[in-house]
Amino acid sequence: MAKKKIMYECMACGYESPKWLGKCPNCGAWNQMEEQLAELSGTQSSLKVQLTTSKRASQGQARQLHEIQYVNEARTQTGFQEFDRVLGGGVVSGSMVLIGGDPGIGKSTLLLQVSIQLANQGQKILYVSGEESLAQIKMRAERLSLHGSDFYLLAETDLQAIANEMSRLEPDMVVIDSIQTMSVPEHTGVAGSVGQLREATNILMRMAKDNQIAIFIVGHVTKEGNIAGPRMLEHMVDTVLYFEGERHNRFRLLRAVKNRFGSTNELGVFEMMDVGLKEVLNPSELFLEERLTGATGSTVVASIEGSRTILAEVQSLMTPTAFGNAKRTASGIEYQRISLLLAVMEKHCHLLVQNQDAFFKTAGGVKLDEPAIDLAIAVSIASSYWNKATRVDDCFIGEIGLTGEIRRVSQINERIKEADKLGFKRVFIPKNNYTSIEDGFNIEVIPVATIQQAVKLIFN
């Protein structure tokens, strides 16, 4: 019989201590130490050994690089172009994908649609739910009009029982909803604790690699928006996706923050409908469809998200403050970027913004964080401050430095091409990018070197 003693484990980072501490010495979190049972002797858990029923022999010796034969396996297309784009072109066999997002944002709905779509293509899918009953999943599938022949459902939280079903069915893809509800029977701690999360993820990762099974796991998020559990959870998996969007907005954004098989800047756009999630193949038109003609403080920017160009509307509102300190609010744009551009506009364009409340927003709930959006934000500030509208067919591209210069941006031809395709008549770009643009555009390209020059051309 193994002897046991009490250990205290930090729920934020996994740090262990023999005594309780108010503040974790590793990550600095307060009141996160919880009591756990630790084994002093005895054999290790045999669950890992039971789970590794590998389809291929493991190599126990090191080999030289030129001796290794690389097989470029084809990706499995899911039928959702936006989902495949974010994954890097499709589902890779043996990969492990973590999807996080706010409650009710549509994570389970997205994976259910993708799973049944793959099942209809001849793939064997196992959908494991630790939060819903089989009847609830069936009811959602009927509401979404989804039907799959080779699609299996399992309501279970015991990882040993899940492993037995995986060995019996030998599926091509497994969905775990969610990882916080899974538990390893021979490991101490309750489901969702740091130790259980670490152990369950490690076991699922070995199963995915050894048996060439694509595993998708759903992760809960904290109030700060990060995936709950130790940070090591994101390091262990191959791909980390965040499903974002406002609860009262019909648009949903699937963003990759880590991807070993593709770009980490890809963005997929979905629209939440009564019949489930519908992919948006041309998000620029939807983001701009409700833009008003003659509105002040409104500009359009061509932003690069991974391999796609998105035209998004940036809105600014400058109003005199009624209090001593001016208020600054931003939605979809970094607050630090807003503060920097307000200082640049006050220094170089003589805008007195110290006594102005400033509010910024991106239409459609899209988040813009690349430097090329600076010029559009600066022009929207001037437009709202002077109460002068910009032309509705103008587009703005450029990064602004602290001295007021407009700096070069990447992929300028792709940005101009997207603006030209949607019918814009003029596009303002950095002067240093002007020599590298291609011929054949029907849009007027106007190079600008400084923010003062840009404001003078736009507002006469």
Number of structural domains (the chain) is 3
Q: Domain of 86: which CATH number? A: 3.40.50.300
The predicted model gives 257-285 an average pLDDT of 87
Q: Is residue 252 part of a domain?
A: yes
What CATH number has the domain bearing residue 433? 3.30.230.10
In a domain, 60, yes or no: no
| Coil, helix or strand at residue 68 | coil
At residue 376, the pLDDT reads 97
- pLDDT-based confidence at 90, cuts 50/70/90? very high
pLDDT at 262: 85
Q: Does residue 345 lie in a domain region?
A: yes
The token duo for 70 is 């690389």
Give the residue numbers spanning the domain of 108.
76-281
State pLDDT tens for residues 238-256.
999 999 887 677 888 898 9
**Percent of the chain whose pLDDT exceeds 70:** 91
CA distances from 261 to 100, 149, 219, 288, 401 (A): 18, 29, 20, 32, 34
Residues 316 and 444 in one domain: yes
Does 58 score more than 70 pLDDT?
no
Mean pLDDT of the 162-175 span: 93
Do 336 and 374 sit in the same domain of this protein?
Answer: yes
Q: Which of 281, 312, 347 is the last residue of a domain?
A: 281
Which of 3-7, 161-165, 184-188, 326-330 shows the lowest mean pLDDT across its residues? 3-7
**DSSP label of 262:** S
CA angle 53, 54, 58 (to 5 degrees): 130
Please tell me the least confidently modeled range out of 153-157, 186-190, 269-273.
186-190
Picking from 41-50, 135-144, 378-387, which range would have the lowest pLDDT averaged per residue?
Answer: 41-50
pLDDT in tens, 394-442: 999 999 999 999 999 999 999 999 999 999 999 999 999 999 999 889 9
Query: Do 139 and 19 belong to one domain?
Result: no
Cα distance between residue 21 and residue 235, in whole Å:
27
Whether residue 327 is found in the same domain as residue 439: yes
Query: How many contiguous H segments (helices) and E segments (strands) does the chain have?
Result: 12, 21
Statement: residue 460 has pLDDT above 90: no
pLDDT of residue 372: 95
Domain boundary pick from 253, 281, 309: 281
Q: Look at residue 54 and tell me if it is in a domain.
A: no
> Distance between CA atoms of 414 and 416, rounded to whole angstroms?
6
Residue 67 within a domain: no
Give 443's pLDDT tier (boundaries 50, 70, 90).
very high
- Cα separation, 66 vs 69, in Å, equals 8
Quickly state the pLDDT bin for 232 (edges 50, 70, 90).
confident
Q: Are residues 130 and 244 in the same domain?
A: yes
State whether 111 and 190 are in the same domain.
yes
Position 211 in a domain: yes
Give Cα 244 to chain centroid, integer Å: 7
Instruction: Write out the two tokens for 286.
Output: 């939807």
pLDDT tens for each residue of 92-133:
999 999 999 888 889 999 999 999 999 999 999 999 999 999
Check whether residue 260 and residue 332 sit in a common domain: no
The pTM of the full predicted model, rounded to 2 decimals, is 0.76
Residues 196 and 227 reside in one and the same domain: yes
Domain identity same for 299 and 255: no
Sheet arrangement for strand 4-10:
16-17, 4-10, 33-39
In this predicted model, which residue has the larger pLDDT, 74 or 256? 256
Same structural domain, 202 and 108: yes
Instruction: Indicate if the pLDDT at residue 273 is higher than 60.
Output: yes
Indicate whether 49 belongs to any domain.
no
Structural domain contains residue 174: yes
How many Å apart are CA 107 and CA 102, to the nearest integer? 9
More confident residue, 380 or 276: 380
Q: Using the 3D structure, point to which of 255, 281, 307 is the last residue of a domain.
A: 281
Whether 295 and 193 map to the same domain: the answer is: no
Same domain, 273 and 293: no
Cβ-based burial of 146 (10 A; exposed 0-12, middle 13-18, buried ≥19): buried
